[in-house]
Amino acid sequence: MTTARPTPRHIPDRLRSLGERVLKSWESLLFAVMVAIFVVNSIASPYFLDPWNLSDATFNFTEKALVALALALVIVAGEIDLSVASIIAISSTMMGTAMHYGAGPTELVLVGLATGLVCGAINGWLVTGLGLPSIVVTIGTMSLFRGIAYIILGDKAYTSYPGEFAYFGQGYVWWVFSFELVLFAVMAVLFHILLHRTSFGRRVQAIGNNPTAALFSGVRVSRVKFILFLLTGLMSGVAAVCLTSRLGSTRPSIATGMELEIVTMVVLGGVNINGGSGSIPGIVLAAIIMGLVTFGFGLLNVPGIVMSIFIGLLLILVIGVPMIAGRIGRRKATGH
């Protein structure tokens, strides 16, 4: 008599499916918040729905969002870079110096991107080469890079950039769609593919979940992290080109405080501050939300300090609430 062998049962990865549901619901929540803010702004101000006003609103977030795309990958990998605003400042300063010596628009762009790459390489080497904590390193380089900008410029400013250079921060590709907005859309698609559709993105997430296990699985952890810091430096250089072009001037105080808004944008977008998970679509939604809020406050003549308070509270909430909810869930699960 033969005994029938039991049919193998598929046991779902409950933790993964739960994470996917939470991520999807978070993005749905962000979309709902974005729609609500859009409706409130359109009611609060009769000028909000003007297409050109909406186009102007995109300048409130595109430069920060470009950096947030790269910083999201760094945070997913379990690291942090708080020097991004200072990289923008020193990149802008080096572009101004190059302009002072006769560089044209193309050379200015190359100088800005190269400076960002060098700064990213310095951060990456200090973290992966010397094994220093990224939060300590980037707090240090945050002061270092901006200090260099102040040494070069002092209380002066670089102005009189070439007319053609203004296109990167003030030009329009078609109708109300600015060059910055189109660039951000293209970069968002590329970073989405990089994080969610490539083996490199899977390695980044594996490192953020468990760097030791990733290392023993054959992932070159230090190399991947170094590349991520390079990417963040490069995107900071891109943001410096756009911001300098839009303002038409360079001062050592340029982009001061922008790192707080960029980190808030990343965390609000659903990236786990402890690493391991994140979503590029979430970053895009968070960027639009923050841009709409800033623009709405501007139309209502709300003081800038109120926006700073709002961002600070938002950062605390998006970090604190999920942690508190997780602790409550674990207590219920264990019965304590």
Q: Which of 99, 91, 110 is nearest to 161 (CA)?
A: 99
Lowest mean pLDDT among 19-28, 173-182, 219-228, 291-300: 19-28
pLDDT score of 245 more than 70: yes
Q: For residue 322, what pLDDT is reported?
A: 67
Cα 142 from chain centroid (whole Å): 16
The distance in angstroms from the start CA to the end CA of the chain is: 51
Per-residue confidence at 329, pLDDT binned at 50, 70, 90?
A: low
Quick: pLDDT tens for 58-93: 888 999 999 999 999 999 999 999 999 999 999 999
Lowest mean pLDDT among 22-36, 86-100, 213-227: 22-36
Per DSSP, the three-state class of 64 is: helix
Quick: pLDDT tens for 101-135: 888 999 999 999 999 999 999 999 999 999 999 99
User: Right CATH number for 27-34+44-331 from 1.20.950, 1.10.3470, 1.20.80, 2.40.128?
Assistant: 1.10.3470
**Do 102 and 160 meet the contact criterion of CB atoms below 8 Å apart?**
no
* Highest mean pLDDT: which range of 20-34, 45-59, 136-150: 136-150
Lowest mean pLDDT among 7-11, 95-99, 154-158: 7-11
Lowest mean pLDDT among 74-83, 274-283, 307-316: 307-316
**Do 59 and 231 meet the contact criterion of CB atoms below 8 Å apart?**
no
pTM, entire model: 0.87
Per-residue confidence at 325, pLDDT binned at 50, 70, 90?
A: low
Looking at 132-254, list the stretches that DSSP marks H as alpha helix, in order from N- to C-terminal side: 134-153, 167-170, 179-196, 199-209, 211-216, 221-247
Q: For residue 254, what pLDDT is reported?
A: 93
Lowest mean pLDDT among 27-41, 64-78, 255-269, 309-323: 309-323
> Which residue do the tokens 């102005």 mark?
159
Q: For residue 304, what pLDDT is reported?
A: 72
Per DSSP, the three-state class of 82 is: coil
The set of residues, in sequence order, having a beta carbon less than 8 Å from that of 295 and lying 6+ positions away, is 41, 48, 53, 56, 57, 60
The set of residues, in sequence order, having a beta carbon less than 8 Å from that of 238 and lying 6+ positions away, is 66, 112, 113, 116, 183, 187
- Mean pLDDT calculated for residue range 263-288: 90
Share of the chain above pLDDT 90, in %: 54
